[in-house]
Amino acid sequence: MPAGCLRRPVDNPNILVISMSSGPNNLDPRVGADSFSEKASQLMFDNLMELDDHLRVSPGLAERLDQPDPTTYVVTLRRGVKFHDGHELTSADVVYTFRSFLDPAFVSVKKGGYHEVQSIDARDRYTVVFTLNKPFASFPINLRQPIVPDGAGVEIRDHPVGTGPYRFVQYSVDDRLEVAAFDDYFAGRPKNDGLIYKITPDDIMRGLELKKGTVDLVVNELAPDVVHQLKAVSTLQTMEAPGVDYQYVGLNLRDPILRDIRVRQALAYAIDRRAIVEYLRRGLATPSDTLLPPVSWAHAADVFSFPYDPARARALLDAAGYPDPDGDGPAPRFSLTLKVSNVEYTRLQSAVIQQDLQRVGVSVDIRSYEFATLYADVIVGNFQAFTLQWAQGALADPDILRRAFHSSQIPPAGFNRGHYSNPRVDALLDEASASTDNDRRRELFVDVQRIVAEDVPYISLWHLRNVIVAQRTLTGLRLSPIADFSFLRDVARAHPTVTN
């Protein structure tokens, strides 16, 4: 559509238009695990437990969570919460939702979070008891799950019914999802009449729609260069806040070259992360030293860091037995293959990494793939090095350190794709997994981050800064660390037209 033909897809100014690059794959929140499905579920469903701004588990639909012993968790529900069809939320809905994940016939990638669950039972109308088969201190994060009605079948993927601030209206695949304000929402009716989740795959077009006023806001769905350009548009406002998404270079520690810690440390010294953040990310990131984001309650702020130091990188490569055969000449010390996605930003970042490593005598062959192909290679260990990004929910609990770095978590068991193994790290993570003392768990997770930072199974690049670009007429904008959509119920137009 030509720029001059762009128009708002709705006449009611109290209905806000949010633009996204892709639509949800499944509107059943027990199944839809991609970020777009999760964003959609945040509009129509509520989680049993939520996350606060330090990524600690906090009450959601649950009024409180008690742990009378190491293997028992007792959830007490809020009373008077209604589903969109009018029935009250009770323990039966919660039991049904979570028992789905224990059903062998139910297919969902989320089932892995419930392996330790022995039983789920309703004590009374508003109380649910989760019994584990062994202590697992990170279990409460798995209660951050949207609740569906008791007995909900496959129809919920096409016509969802939840307790959330918005009720489902319609979904046109590859076009839009429409939701309307739920008048009986337990936390109060939204300040707008509804939302249109508009699917616009093209990044430049999303920016153009914002500029023309046909879209009201975009959250983390614009390239840094586009955000930079839109900051100069007087009709728009931007908001930034620390995020959690983590970009890194993963290394295969079974590789004859990369198994040497001196080589891995040299590569880390050779990459100018601050230049990537400043010029490629336009400041919409912060250099990172560890997987856990600074907003996390378990983040280690004092881990070993790798400032940009090409001289130190060259010295380490010399010590590892890889002298530069011709000094500053074209012949490399050795060559690496770096696998990346074919997203334009990732390819640009990879070119910067390639140039940085070339300056210290390491040749890099960049190979770009569709995401599905890249991910399949990463899972089976078919790589020397790769770039990927941990996003949002995956980083909500520090147990991700166990899933990523424990030697028992090599795929398909977990996410230790580079075959990293350190007995001290394993012991610390085992203790953290079983401990019920959060202060002790934090000490253990900090120790793990310190060791892993020096061992360099990942080369940390950056943590994302979340950003909203919105019409200046909007009020109530807010960014959480995971950039969830729950804030949208508080967004309103400053001077809307009243509609009936």
Residues of the chain with CATH 3.10.105.10: 243-464
State mean pLDDT over 13-22.
Answer: 92
Residues of the chain with CATH 3.90.76.10: 46-152
- The pLDDT confidence band at residue 6, using thresholds 50, 70 and 90, is low
Write the CATH number of the domain with boundaries 243-464. 3.10.105.10
Backbone angles phi, psi at 126, to 5 degrees: -125, 15
Map tokens 């996605």 to a residue: 341
Backbone angles phi, psi at 405, to 5 degrees: -125, -5
pLDDT the model gives residue 99: 97
- Dump pLDDT digits (tens) for 328-365: 788 999 999 999 988 888 889 999 999 999 999 999 99
pTM score of the predicted model: 0.84
- Dump pLDDT digits (tens) for 309-321: 999 999 999 999 9
Share of the chain above pLDDT 90, in %: 76
pLDDT the model gives residue 393: 67
- The pLDDT confidence band at residue 35, using thresholds 50, 70 and 90, is confident
Say which residues have a Cβ less than 8 Å from residue 443's Cβ, sequence separation at least 6.
none
**Superfamily of structural domain 3-28+33-42+164-235+472-493:** Periplasmic binding protein-like II (3.40.190.10)
Rounded Cα distance, 454 and 321, in Å:
20
For domain 46-152, give its CATH number from 3.20.20.60, 3.40.50.1100, 3.40.50.12280, 3.90.76.10. Answer: 3.90.76.10
pLDDT the model gives residue 395: 78
Residues of the chain with CATH 3.40.190.10: 3-28+33-42+164-235+472-493
Rounded Cα distance, 242 and 390, in Å:
15
